[in-house]
Amino acid sequence: MKKNLFIFLMLLLGSNVTFSQTDTIISDLFNLSLEELMNVEVEVVTKKALALRENPAIVTVISETDIQNSGARDIKEVFELFVPGFQFGVDVEGAVGMSVRGIWAFEGKTLLMIDGIEMNEEMFGSVMFGNHFTVDNVKKIEISRGPGSAIYGGYAGLSVINIITKGANMNCGFISSSYSQMSKTYAQRYLNAGFGKEINNFLFSINAAYSQGVRSQNENVDYYLNSIAMQDNSTIYSTFLNTNIKYKGLDIRLISDLYQYKQVDLWGENYTNGALNQKTDSHIGQIKYKFEISEKHILAPFFIFKYQKPWNVDVPEQDYVNSKFVAKYTTGINHSWEINSNFNILSGFEYYNNSLNLPEDYKTYEETFTNNSNSISISNITLFSQAIYLNKIVNVTVGGRFDQSSEYGNSFVPRLALTKVIDKLHLKAMFSQSFRIPGGIIPNRIPGGVDGIKPENATNYEFEIGYRLGENLYFGVNAFSISFEKLISYGSDPSTGLGTYVNSGTIGSNGLEAELKYKSKYVNFMLNYAYHMATNYDENSNVVPENEEMFLAFSPQRLNSMINISLNAKLSFNISALYFSDRYAYTYDNGTSEVLEKFSSEVIVNSNFRITKLIDNHLDITIGVNNILDSKMIYLQPYNGQHAPLPGLSRAATIKVFYNF
């Protein structure tokens, strides 16, 4: 650990730092001064544009130039570097998911949106990572760390992410391609293209990406110590299409997200009859219209339809298949009342119906529904309201959301935040709650029916202080306390093997996060730190027995940095480093007991050279190396679920070509 930390600190302190030049087709965030950057407007927290320092949440904003400078190959690598408290682990069937501040968020605790559209799959509420969501079509990412249920509902228990893609304001097009090669096989290769045009009141944009990657080139050792090569058995395919048409107040968007990966293990044991194909496909359409009734009143009705085939896998030799599909439609209306320049009230009504369906040709082993039908559904009615009052004494945000579920009864979650900006200083104090109902096969997976389970809820306290030291340096630190009650856990019935949901008790997380930024005409430097500890639990399947303040699978301390050095107007050198402290996980069964293993701290270092503005400012080329030290990248299971560590990517040389026209 000391050696790795020494290497990390030397990388931070032993380099000169400067900004690279701005790309031709990027957002303006990278050109802003530090003061302007601290006051950039963000909408993800409240659905109303507020300056970053006045936003009633802990917020991270990532520009597209930050992403390109980092050399990140997908969204997962972006989150690991730029967002304090985000880490990744493995769940069942080789799926990689996210944790927030130490708490496993994979199943319905983090909302991920693309251009404001919910991307979580509706069977379990999860989002899968690893060669998923390429980065060349991203304009900006807004992330709220902390509950967002008061506005967004049940998937926003721990954080809200909105990935904003390049749209019609490009008034041009781009095409990009990337290839990343490890010692034995490629790591990733993709093609991404986009086009946007604005003509008077008509706007049109389209983004498309196709990507192939592998999970790892190493051996996978399962929970029973059997080994199998992953090089040709862990391919990941991702296809993404995002089309948007706008005319005056009308906004239509269509998104298709097709994600497929090969898995070598099934329920903790390597599958020896060839890799299994796991698919999660999503097709989403949204239509909304903004009526500007007056300067003070805006009405925005909307309709969203989501069709998905999540977690589709077929195991012929075991007569097992999961081929269910989900259909969800959501409709509603939002009303914004701008009483004056300092006082806004946002309110809304939503209704959704979510149905899970069996295909006509489902296998006999596949779980059926207890209502003797080939379909089950949940409906939900929502009312929410939020008031924002900006004044000289303190800015106040207060709101709440009421949900009535056809299966799980009522939930109400409030939010209260106080923020204050005093010249270079800002202060925030926030209280909020969140809720979640289970996804999955309902009510078939709930012992005793829906009366046997209640909505999960969480209470969150956050405090932040930030200060801009001069024109170029900013430092901010926040503390948080999260406590979940009626925690919804997923398991299986020993007698039947069928999955079940239960309210398993309480769990919480306390910690702090800090961020340092230096920015001037020639310098760009970022350093962030995150610490968490497990608290308030009465069920210990998620914590380390020898140290019950540690969550399984995740490092309680993280430190990340990125430096950008401009060598001249067109050439820049970039280096990033990520430090992970010690981790623990159950790794195998030795025949008499399950073994808890310690994984020592790791440092991951990435670097690249970027050549920009070639061929009349149209061409950018990036050449670099990911994971220079060839650190042991593995994903651990954050509970004792008999899944061995899943290997990740090794050292890889990467080249990316970006051309705009």
Task: Tell me the pLDDT tens digit for each residue of 138-171.
Answer: 999 999 999 999 999 989 999 999 999 998 778 8
* 451 phi/psi in degrees, rounded to 5: -65, -15
Q: Return the residue matching tokens 């026209």.
A: 661
**Tens-place pLDDT, residues 501-524:** 888 889 999 999 999 999 887 889
Q: How far apart are the first and last CA of the chain?
A: 48
pLDDT band of 447, cuts 50, 70, 90 = low
Compute the mean pLDDT over every residue in the chain, rounded to the nearest whole number.
88
**Tens-place pLDDT, residues 518-546:** 988 788 999 999 999 999 777 667 899 88
* Residue 285: count of CB within 10 angstroms of its CB: 17
Bond from prior residue into 147 cis (ω within 30 degrees of 0):
no
Is pLDDT at 13 greater than 50 in this prediction?
no
> What percent of the chain is modeled with pLDDT above 90?
67
Q: What DSSP string runs through 344-361? A: EEEEEEEEEEEEEE--TT
Give, in order, the Cα–Cα distances in Å from 367 to each of 310, 379, 496, 500, 526. 15, 22, 11, 12, 49
Q: Amino acid identity of 441?
A: I
Compute the average pLDDT of residues 616-624: 94
> Tokens at residue 54, please?
């006045």
The per-residue pLDDT for 271 is 83
The per-residue pLDDT for 464 is 97
Give the pTM. Answer: 0.92
The helix/strand/coil state of 26 is coil
**Strands, E, within 423-472: which ranges?**
425-436, 456-469
> Tokens at residue 23, please?
């790309």
CA distance 3 to 11: 13
**Strands, E, within 24-171: which ranges?**
41-42, 50-51, 58-63, 86-90, 96-100, 103-104, 110-114, 117-118, 138-145, 159-165
The per-residue pLDDT for 363 is 65
Q: 363 forms bridges with which residues in the sheet? A: none
Compute the average pLDDT of residues 437-463: 80
> Tokens at residue 420, please?
């204050």
Contacts of 330 (CB under 8 A, 6+ apart): 302, 303, 304, 306, 350, 351, 352
Q: Which residues of 88-112 are buried (b: 16+ CB within 10 A; e: fewer)?
A: bbbbbbbbbbbbbbbbbbbbbbbbb
Is pLDDT at 239 greater than 60 in this prediction?
yes
Q: Return the residue matching tokens 């544009």.
A: 49
CA 259 to centroid of chain Cα atoms: 15
R_g (Cα) of the chain, nearest Å = 24
CA distance 233 to 217: 9
The per-residue pLDDT for 591 is 81
Residue pair 338/306 in contact by the 8 Å Cβ criterion: no
Of residues 443 and 381, more confidently modeled: 381
Contacts of 142 (CB under 8 A, 6+ apart): 42, 43, 44, 59, 60, 61, 161, 162, 164
The per-residue pLDDT for 158 is 95
Is pLDDT at 41 greater than 90 in this prediction?
no
Q: What DSSP string runs through 232-275? A: TT-EEEEEEEEEEEEETTEEEEEEEEEEEEEESEETTEE--SSP
> What percent of the chain is modeled with pLDDT above 70?
90
The per-residue pLDDT for 170 is 80
- Kind of pairing between the strands at 86-90 and 557-566: unpaired
Residue pair 34/473 in contact by the 8 Å Cβ criterion: yes
Contacts of 89 (CB under 8 A, 6+ apart): 96, 97, 99, 104, 106, 553, 554, 635, 636, 637, 638
Is pLDDT at 14 greater than 60 in this prediction?
no
Region of residue 60 (phi > 0: left; psi between -120 and 50: alpha; otherwise: beta): beta
Is pLDDT at 371 greater than 80 in this prediction?
no
**Tens-place pLDDT, residues 644-659:** 999 999 999 999 999 9
Is pLDDT at 9 greater than 50 in this prediction?
no
Q: Return the residue matching tokens 């925030």.
A: 428
Q: Return the residue matching tokens 């339809």.
A: 305
Q: Which residues of 136-148 are buried (b: 16+ CB within 10 A; e: fewer)?
A: bbbbbbbbbbbbb
CA distance 644 to 637: 7
* Residue 529: count of CB within 10 angstroms of its CB: 18
Is pLDDT at 10 greater than 60 in this prediction?
no
- Kind of pairing between the strands at 425-436 and 456-469: antiparallel
**Tens-place pLDDT, residues 390-407:** 999 999 999 999 999 988
> Range with the lowest mean pLDDT among 325-339, 380-394, 510-524?
510-524
Is pLDDT at 290 greater than 90 in this prediction?
yes
The per-residue pLDDT for 316 is 74
The per-residue pLDDT for 17 is 32
The per-residue pLDDT for 30 is 56
Q: 620 forms bridges with which residues in the sheet? A: 658
The helix/strand/coil state of 640 is coil
CA distance 377 to 374: 10
Q: Amino acid identity of 502?
A: V
CA distance 522 to 531: 31
Of residues 436 and 28, more confidently modeled: 436
> Tokens at residue 255, please?
């998104």
The helix/strand/coil state of 178 is strand
Residue pair 123/171 in contact by the 8 Å Cβ criterion: no
Q: 624 forms bridges with which residues in the sheet? A: 608, 654
Alpha helices in 529-636 (DSSP H): 614-617
The per-residue pLDDT for 589 is 87
* 11 phi/psi in degrees, rounded to 5: -65, -35
Compute the average pLDDT of residues 118-133: 94
Compute the average pLDDT of residues 550-565: 96
CA distance 568 to 566: 6
| CA nearest neighbour of 19 among 2, 34, 40 | 34
The helix/strand/coil state of 375 is strand
> Tokens at residue 58, please?
């802990």
Of residues 92 and 289, more confidently modeled: 289
Compute the average pLDDT of residues 560-568: 93
* Residue 324: count of CB within 10 angstroms of its CB: 22
